[in-house]
Structure 1
Amino acid sequence: MAKNKFSGKLGELIARAENGNAEDVDYIISHLTEESSLAMTRYVDFALSLVENEMGVLRLEYYLFNGTLIQRNYCGLFFNRRLDYDLVDRAFNAGAIDEIQAFSR
């Protein structure tokens, strides 16, 4: 895993995101539950913004359509920030994310 200046859980999530394989994305996404603290959701959101590996991005696309509601919503944010509006529109039309998530940046 890549070295970064952060320690603890945030550092671990960042290192996983920088590696960015499907297994790393699975690990990061697993921290998004209904019981997740606000801090954890922010850590995950930041870490996901660092995923660039094609396999990781494809895994996030999987979660956009197949994850839990909170996972789908954070994946919607990820793809909106990448300007992948066609993909977000498909998720919205499929009912995977709501209107608020579809148009959030």
Structure 2
Amino acid sequence: MTKNKFSGKLGELIERAERGNEEDVDYVISHLTDNSTLAMTRYVDFALSLVENQKGISRLEYYLFNGTLIQRNYCCLFFNRRLDYELVDRAFRAGLIDEIQAFSR
């Protein structure tokens, strides 16, 4: 993990995502609510793109199938960017994400 150049909330989210343990992913994901600002959703989206720890990736898979709608949508983006289409397709077929979200990158 490298020292990130961001401060404030974005820096904190990046640090947690780079560590990428289950509790770190829980913390980052907890910032995705119906009341999240556009800026916060962008911070979380960027931070999630940095998760590489297998424990964190597994936790994101958990949220893809068990999180709130907004959490499932951002997890879907994460897995689409990783080209994990089979996982995204399972969530889509289970009715957890819509067709537009399932096929967006």
Q: TM-score of the superposition, structure 2-length normalised?
A: 0.98
- Please give the alpha-carbon distance, in whole angstroms, between the structure 1 residues aligned to 2:42 and 2:7: 15
Is the partner of 1:91 in helix, strand or coil? Answer: helix
Contact 1:64 1:71 in 2 (8 A): yes
Number of aligned residue pairs: 105
Which consecutive unaligned segments of at least 5 residues does structure 1 have? none
Unaligned runs of 5+ in 2: none
Q: Is the 8 A contact 1:2 1:19 kept in 2?
A: no
Q: Does 1:33 align with 2:33?
A: yes
Where in structure 1 do 4 or more consecutive aligned residues deviate above 2 Å? none
**Superposed displacement of residue 3, structure 1:** 2.0
Distance 2:23 2:95 in 1: 26
Q: Distance in 1 between matches of 2:96 and 2:69?
A: 8
Instruction: Give the match for residue 50 of structure 2.
Output: 50
Deviations 1:65-84 (A, max 9, x none): 00000000000000000000
Please give the TM-score of this superposition, normalised by the length of structure 1.
0.98
State the alpha-carbon separation in 2 of the partners of residues 11 and 51 from structure 1: 14
Q: CA RMSD in A?
A: 0.9
